Structure 1
């Protein structure tokens, strides 16, 4: 009897290419090999859920006290103004002082605000203006925190790992945007507002621990003034660098023209047959983009291998525009067959969320690599204003347009306008299209 051939010693390795490809597809975790970045990232997983608990609880408490949506709507104004003012000024602060100290002070401020939220709820103060004032104060500390937090990333990881580090951070943020409202919505009826606010304060202690462990992080050339002139200098720097300017413009195009979140209640009710007060259709539409962004973050290993980051931004925003058009078409075709087209609309929103995650990771990487260290804080302040302002402008634009031409046409036209805008940016500024970060 012939002896069967012995398989070669390396035969068991034949499956390794599959494992290798899977590893390349998953998120690039090299930045977690740097202890300071890793501590901040792991702490943020805990903190971001707590922060989202407050995002859910503030409007719920306002409604419970006043039974008037006017007060709930005022959270937009009380939140946006501090984010703009202190986001810009906080960028200048981050370029003037040790960024570790800025992070410590602003984090303590947010913890104190969360504690004050908890105290007023547990004491049944029931004052809507106190709640709105605390919300504005909390957003002020948050706006001071973010420019410094983002500006330190190039000080913690090498330039080649910036896209991966930004993808990891954005994945955690989007995870919190899903988990926080789910947890808060489930716990709020059982525990009430006070314990949820207190939980926010407790979870932020994790981030405080992480920032206290950071070394001194002074900017390379600290600025000497915190006046309006230093803020204007940041704008001038962005204006002079067409690559940075286009990174802001592209985001505004994508958000203002293509973000249809203000229409979710209408299309959930009118087009997908949900109840006027919300329901499963509204919940799925609201979670679609965040779920896609999380999935995009989990499978973001490819972002570290992309060198032409400007072209990658344009491609990602084009995919976003196509996904928005797909969402509008799904809404338009819903008719009496609501569920199949609801699934299609949510799937398109998920694709858009994944594309937005990639675009954000590359835009943040461009912002951190193309700017010098002494101006990074101020540019991060501008970035924060663009990020928070664009969606709020989108709410106004989409609401006005839908009232005149309907929800589905508004979404479709918005997605098409995104495509036109991104193609124009690529054609008019070839330097952005060809941008490759310098090796450092």
Structure 2
């Protein structure tokens, strides 16, 4: 037993960021709380629209109302994150999301709830989410030590994957039993708790060299991304993987074709289960340095697993391959996030987080269209396995086209080394300021 203990410890999540950073703990707890509440609203919205209209088209229009605000405000939110206090920006947007949830609650309590406010609030929520997400994502590198970023991302993924597995079933029961209004009320409460947690964090002011938010500053962020072929490779691989091998829209048809309508919920949860298992045993990811290779192999694993999920007609094998795909996607996410956070200067981190928001939001939307279009000539399973095969071919092509990504190493990459030095200088300055404050009395004289 003693011989296996070190091996088990290497697999377990690295809790160092949690222990070392009070601000990271507060941020993590805030995410846990709002993650549960968001799933309640995520499930309540389509159910309420279905109850009001009994129209699949009306339910599907939610995505159309959300996509454009997310794209536009995601880029603008990145510029704001580099120019303003990121904690304050998250607080203000979180308060705005709470107000919008309260409006949904009021509408649900009307004798005859209205449809148009639901679409309006959905669009406004997407806009605020676009404004908030870059600031939220770019806060972690400021509150966690540079070498603890992979572990921090793994811990964030852990609660997100738990929410993805447990959230929808719990939310479905809550909405069906207690109604959409109760779901909105609980979501509102989680926002209030989250606000209290984030308010206790220290400010996260912008870097001194960050400029005012403007179209020019957004262009500077896009220009920086274009100049970094390794970054472009991460965006391109994620887009290819989601475009060709994201068949979630076909799951209801896949369940019917497998004669397993009872397994529809399992199909939706399978990838999240795989991701959760990897996150729960992902302590090894903190010791990886070649994150480009890690990303490429994980993307290939995603494509291969989706290909096998389409080729086999046994529902249990399909669920297994979907879970393997989810595990590969979790590894890919750790690689992407680590490469981004360890090599992008802080004064550009928010704007690049806005670009990243687009890269992992647009891909799944286009992937749904691809899956549905290919299902007409190839059938449901044909669309799944063909998409997986195209993903593998696309990733291999990108590997050949972007050798810099394959060679990326956090120990030698000049951008990563520069960001590490920037992080260490800031940490030393903050420690010196704290020591000076501790050694000075309220009257400005030594204590």
Contact 2:82 2:211 in 1 (8 A): no
What is the 5 A alignment of 1:15-26? 15-26=1-12
1:286 alignment partner, one of 264, 268, 272: 268
What is the 5 A alignment of 1:143-154? 143-154=130-141
Q: CA-to-partner distance for each residue in 1:144-199, whole Å, 9 max, x for gaps?
A: 11100111111111121111111211221222122221111111122111110010
Give the CA deviation at 1:100.
0.9
Partner Cα separation in structure 1 for residue 9 and residue 30 of structure 2:
24
Q: CA-to-partner distance for each residue in 1:289-342, whole Å, 9 max, x for gaps?
A: 111111111011111010101110001111111111110111xxx2xxxxxx11
Partner Cα separation in structure 1 for residue 158 and residue 323 of structure 2:
14
Contact 1:221 1:373 in 2 (8 A): no
Partner Cα separation in structure 2 for residue 125 and residue 202 of structure 1:
24
1:5 maps to none
User: 3-state DSSP class of the match of 1:124?
Assistant: coil
> Which moved further from structure 2: 281-290 or 15-24?
15-24
1:424 alignment partner, one of 376, 392, 397: 397
1:250 correspondence with 2:250: no
Partner Cα separation in structure 1 for residue 236 and residue 100 of structure 2:
34
1:6 maps to none
1:390 alignment partner, one of 363, 374, 379: 363
Contact 1:88 1:381 in 2 (8 A): yes
Give the TM-score taking structure 2 as reference length.
0.90
Moved over 3 A (4+): 221-225
Aligned length: 412
1:12 maps to none
Distance 1:222 1:200, change over 3 A: farther
User: 3-state DSSP class of the match of 2:111?
Assistant: coil
1:117 correspondence with 2:104: yes
Give the CA deviation at 1:222.
5.1
1:64 maps to 51
2:155 alignment partner, one of 168, 174, 189: 168
What is the 5 A alignment of 1:87-126? 87-126=74-113
2:219 maps to 232
1:369 alignment partner, one of 326, 342, 351: 342
1:137 alignment partner, one of 117, 124, 130: 124
Gap regions ≥5 residues in structure 2: 411-415, 421-447
Give the TM-score taking structure 1 as reference length.
0.91
1:352 correspondence with 2:325: yes
Give the CA deviation at 1:71.
1.3
Distance 1:125 1:105, change over 3 A: farther
Give the CA deviation at 1:125.
4.3
Give the CA deviation at 1:350.
0.6
Partner Cα separation in structure 2 for residue 71 and residue 178 of structure 1:
26
Partner Cα separation in structure 2 for residue 47 and residue 280 of structure 1:
30
2:408 maps to 435
Coordinate RMSD, CA, aligned: 1.3
User: 3-state DSSP class of the match of 2:2?
Assistant: helix
2:378 alignment partner, one of 401, 405, 424: 405
Partner Cα separation in structure 2 for residue 96 and residue 45 of structure 1:
27
Contact 1:96 1:222 in 2 (8 A): no
